[in-house]
Structure 1
Amino acid sequence: MRISRAQWQALLDALEVTRRERKLLTYRSLLERLQLATPAMLTLTSALEHLASRDAEAGRPLRSALVISQSASRLPRSGFFDCAKRLGRFSGDPEGAAAVSWHAAEVARVFDFDYPEAT
């Protein structure tokens, strides 16, 4: 799945505003903001995983941690944790307490990190 350069920049901008405001963003609100073509969720997931790979490669906290489900868990979907495992950032059950505590710590790291403008 591919997104346009403008959509990629809009994704980065949305995450940066969210980070600076020390808030989280739902997948749904991000989908609405980016206006991705069908299959929109698959495209968004691919883009967030690509960003996570770039962040991990650069030794930065994973900005994709700021995107959460609107379900009661208020956590990213399990695919986020699978991606974080592949990147060597998370080990544990994506449905368990380890996921909750790791996610909270990663979000705090994202809030405190200043990302370079050019990504």
Structure 2
Amino acid sequence: MKQKIRTVLENTARKHQTISYRMLAIEAEIPGPQIIHKLTNVLEDILRQDHQNGVLSLVPVAVSRGEPAIPRTGFFILLKELGLYDGPEQGPEAIDKHTALLAEIYSTMPKVQH
């Protein structure tokens, strides 16, 4: 499951796009019930693992369907735990942090058309 999620995140990042949690769960074929809960747990594991390994994580590509289309508060809480962010979980600072993370991700990947 983790590898399928990583593959979908990578394919999405290569298009310089984001993907909703629901679409990511569907494309990664996460079995029900509670597919979003399962997805969230795996995304947190991926973010922790990437941080431990010192590699750029693609987890910020996964976003909620709401406006603004940024990750949910748990993502920002985990960033704080990892020492990667010290702002609030919502609002302009969270949006700016997410925008910066996406820019960093997209700058490392040549854009592909689909």
Q: What residue is the counterpart of 1:108 in the other structure? A: 103
Given residue 7 of structure 2, which amino acid in structure 1 is its aligned partner? Answer: D
**Residue-pair matches, total:** 108
Q: Partners of 1:98 and 1:110 in 2: how far apart?
A: 18
Q: 1:15 corresponds to which residue?
A: 9
Tell me the TM-score normalized by structure 1: 0.83
Q: State which drifts further: 33-42 or 43-52.
A: 33-42
Give the counterpart letter for 1:45 in structure 2. T
Deviation string 1:71-96 (CA, Å, 9 cap, x unpaired) is 12111111111111111111111112
**2:82 is equivalent to residue 90 of structure 1:** no
Once the 2 structures are TM-superposed, how far is the Cα of residue 53 of structure 1 from its aligned partner? 0.6
Matches within 5 A, 1:28-107: 28-36=22-30, 37-107=32-102
Code of the aligned partner of 1:64: V
| Conserved 8 A contact 2:8-2:28 | no
Q: Distance in 1 between matches of 2:3 and 2:34?
A: 19
Mapped contact 1:61–1:113 kept (Cα < 8 A): no
Moved over 4 A (4+): none
Query: Equivalents in 2 of 1:98, 1:75: separation in Å?
Result: 12
Task: Determine whether 1:27 maps to 2:47.
Answer: no
Higher relative contact order (Cα pairs below 8 Å, separated by 6+ residues): 2
Gaps of at least 5 residues in structure 1 are: 1-6, 115-119
Tell me the CA shift for residue 58 of structure 1.
2.0
**What residue number does 2:112 align with?**
none
User: What is the CA distance between 1:62 and its match in structure 2?
Assistant: 2.6
Q: How big is the shift at 1:113?
A: 3.1
